[in-house]
Amino acid sequence: MKGEHHYTVTVDWTGNTGTGTSSYAAYSRDHLIQAAGKPDVPGSSDPAFRGDPARWNPEDMLVASLSACHKLWYLHFCAVEGVTVEAYRDEAVGVMVEDRERGGAFAQVTLRPQVTIRAGDDTALAQELHERAHHFCFIANSVNFPVHCEPRILTAS
């Protein structure tokens, strides 16, 4: 490890439809998430909160961040331990619960990676490496709710 890492993003609200936030219904929740040298990410709020369902919302992005971080650590450990991953797909699910006091919070996220490894590789080790990946995942280590992992290991034919 090399110490601190800094991440700079810009969130640019693009939802002023002419009258700003003159009322709750008067504005769009649309925004662009930007970082130097990367494509813009079109964002909005969840459709339950007047957002555009065709755009990414912060809740989607949090679940995606947990899934992607786990995957990156998992692939790293597989490469180091000699397990060849041929395919990886995660259908992660997050549960957020609204409450009057704070607005809402995530109660949990469940990762469900389906991993195909090379025929003859160690499936028990491939399974165990998910626990190691979870232990090291930067994002999972940063949240205050449980992140569960329910991997399924397949062997290539």
Residues 30 and 102 in one domain: no
Residues 136 and 96 in one domain: yes
Owning domain of residue 101: 58-155
CA dist 20 → 14, 15, 45, 76, 154 (Å): 10, 8, 16, 46, 52
Is residue 5 situated within a structural domain?
A: no
CA–CA dist 131, 135 (Å, integer): 6
pLDDT in tens, the chain (157 residues): 689 999 999 999 999 999 999 999 999 999 999 999 999 999 999 999 999 999 999 999 999 999 999 999 999 999 999 999 999 999 999 999 999 999 999 999 999 999 999 999 999 999 999 999 999 999 999 999 999 999 999 999 8
User: Which amino acid type is present at position 41?
Assistant: V
Into how many domains does the chain fold?
Answer: 2
Residues 39 and 96 in one domain: no
pTM of the model: 0.92
Q: Percent helix, strand, coil in the chain (nearest 5)? A: 30, 25, 45
Strand partners, 79: none
